[in-house]
Amino acid sequence: MQSVEIQARSVDEAVRLALEQLGCTEDEVDVEVLVDADPENEGEALVRVTSHRGNGASQPDTAGYPAARFDARPDEVTEQVAKKVVTELLDAMGFDCSVMAVDNPSSIEVASDEPPTVFIDVNGRDLGILIGKRGDNLSHFQYMVNLLANKQLDDWTRVIVDVEGYRVRREESLIGLAKRVARKVSQSRRAIPLEPMPANERRVVHMALRDDSSVRTESTGESGERRVTIHPRQSG
């Protein structure tokens, strides 16, 4: 089986993109919603779509969509496209800053079943408004970048934008929190809810604990009150 995780503005859009990546139809996959979108604050959805197509099954007509190739690092052309899109958007918004394509600054590695990912680092003066409260503006900006960049690319590529190291610092804090709470849950065998978070931050918690065999994560709540709850896994 092959599985992909896709982040998009809605669950439906994320599923559609995943089907394009896998070259499958809806009846050939299982869909797991890891993070629901927040309609009120425009948070993004995260889904895991797993193909259950048999090894010997015939390949359906996929309307020309390419087969997923997740083991390839984005090439220089792809990075330049992403960098150009970010630069042009920032120029249009009146920001004077430097834009660089960088290696993955995150402690969470891009898995082999995830799409190629370009990391863009933005530095300059007075960029707080671009980050916004709890990173909301940055999330919306990143969403626009992904839409515009992928209109120019043949294969779907994820673009992650950071501003003045904000995303890396916040991610490190969230990973530390997730692991501390996971240890408490594992020891107490009681579920613990975290504070409400936007979709991109809930995704960090999900990803940080996805390989932890002692706990599982679940997003619950409505709109701005959505949060991750960490549950103990059932033994046996």
Q: How high does pLDDT run on average in the chain?
A: 80
Kindly state the average pLDDT of the residues 208-220: 88
Instruction: Please tell me the distance from the alpha carbon of residue 67 to that of residue 200, in angstroms, as a whole number.
Output: 27
Domain boundary among 164, 194, 220: 164
d(CA 50, CA 78): 26
Distance from C-alpha of 88 to C-alpha of 85, rounded to nearest angstrom? 5
If pLDDT is split at 50, 70 and 90, which confidence band does 235 have? low
Q: What CA–CA distance (Å, rounded) separates 96 from 196?
A: 33
Asked if the structure places residue 62 within a domain, the reply is no
101 & 137 share domain: yes
Per DSSP, the residues of 78-144 read: HHHHHHHHHHHHHHHTT--EEEEEES--SSSPPPTTSPPEEEEEEEESS-HHHH-GGGHHHHHHHHH
The residue segments making up the domain with residue 35 are 2-51
Regarding whether 181 and 160 lie in a shared domain, the answer is no
Give the pLDDT confidence score for residue 67 in this predicted structure: 35
**Residue type for position 150:** N
16 assigned to some structural domain: yes
Query: Do residues 135 and 106 both lie within one domain?
Result: yes
Q: Residues 211, 179: one domain?
A: yes
On whether residue 180 sits in a domain, the answer given is yes
- With a CB cutoff of 8 Å and minimum separation 6, the contacts of 9 are 37, 42, 44, 45, 143
Q: Any idea which of 31-35, 177-181, 194-198 has the lowest mean pLDDT? A: 31-35
| Site of tokens 């599982």 | 216
Q: Give the model confidence (pLDDT) of 150-170 as tens digits.
A: 889 888 788 999 999 998 899
Question: Do the domain assignments include residue 71?
Answer: no
Question: Cα dist. 132→44, 137, 140, 163, 192 in Å?
Answer: 16, 5, 10, 11, 28
39-43, 97-101, 174-178: lowest mean pLDDT where?
A: 39-43
Domains contained in the chain, number = 3
- Judged against a pLDDT cut of 60, whether residue 102 lies above it is answered with yes
pLDDT beyond 70 at 56: no
DSSP letter at 149 equals H
| Same domain, yes or no: 88 and 45 | no
Instruction: Indicate whether 59 belongs to any domain.
Output: no
Would you say the pTM of this structure is higher than 0.75?
A: no
% of the chain at pLDDT higher than 70 = 82
- Give the mean model confidence (pLDDT) for residues 219-228: 78
Give 142 or 225, the one with higher predicted confidence. 142
Are 173 and 159 in a shared domain?
no
The CATH number linked to 149 is 3.30.300.20
CATH (domain of 219): 3.30.1370.50
Q: Which amino acid is at 155?
A: D
Residue 178 has pLDDT above 80, yes or no: yes
pLDDT at 61 over 50: no
Q: Is 124 found in the same domain as 143? A: yes
